[in-house]
Amino acid sequence: MGDLEGDEVDLKITKTSHVLLGSKCPATSFQGLEEARKDDTAFTSFRIRLSNYLNIFFSANNIAFPGGKRIKLGAEDKITEYCFMKVDYESIVDWQQYTDYLRCNPWFYNHPQYDCVLLQTVDSRIFARLIMLFICTIDQDLGLWRIRANSRSDAEFVPLRSIVCGAAMAPDYEVSGDFFLIDTVDSDWFLRTKKMWFELPAKHT
């Protein structure tokens, strides 16, 4: 569905499993987002509803709450919108990998374009239309892993075979070079990061 022509795809895109996000917008606060879209009922109490969703998601999937506390997003916490999504999937015809290029863009070729998707839920598959693609940075007090990049002068050589998989991380827009590890991408990634946490030396836990 679609192609790349006309899309301004960022060179730095966030990888989460089989999905790539592009056309990154400037980060804004939840308060700023709700004020900017106050006429759209989809964004009424957006921050509170997202907090409730995350708490339900964590409980339903037996995921420990960061720091042992329920998630409560703050009005000044940051959220970053994306207007483009690339989705890789396996065809059930020839079992080859194909790619869909999807837009969630209020101004694509001078017109809004919000593509539709097929979602896999716990019980079935459902159809939906995209409203907003985003990532949000949760405050470090919630116990997220903070990853700090080394200086570029400390770059090291590594063999390609040592790469296990991609790592989903969100940048901390207030501290350059810092990232928060996102451990809820899927079950495999959650279990991998949980195992790494328990294997850390005591001084890090």
What does pTM read for this prediction?
A: 0.61
User: Of the given ranges (4-18, 131-145, 175-189), which has the lowest mean pLDDT?
Assistant: 4-18
Q: Rounded CA gap, 135 and 37, in Å?
A: 17
Per the DSSP assignment, residues forming a β-bridge with 116 are 129
With contact defined as beta carbons under 8 Å apart, do 86 and 22 qualify?
yes
Structure confidence at residue 154 as a pLDDT band (50, 70, 90): confident
* Residue type for position 156: E
| Numbers of helices and strands, H then E, in the chain | 3, 12
Burial of 144 (0-12, 13-18, 19+ CB in 10 A): buried
- Tokens 């995350």 belong to 54
Q: Which residue has the tokens 């101004």?
A: 107
Calculate mean pLDDT across residues 97-109: 91
Domains of the chain: which residue ranges?
15-204
Q: How many whole angstroms separate alpha carbon 156 and alpha carbon 153? A: 9
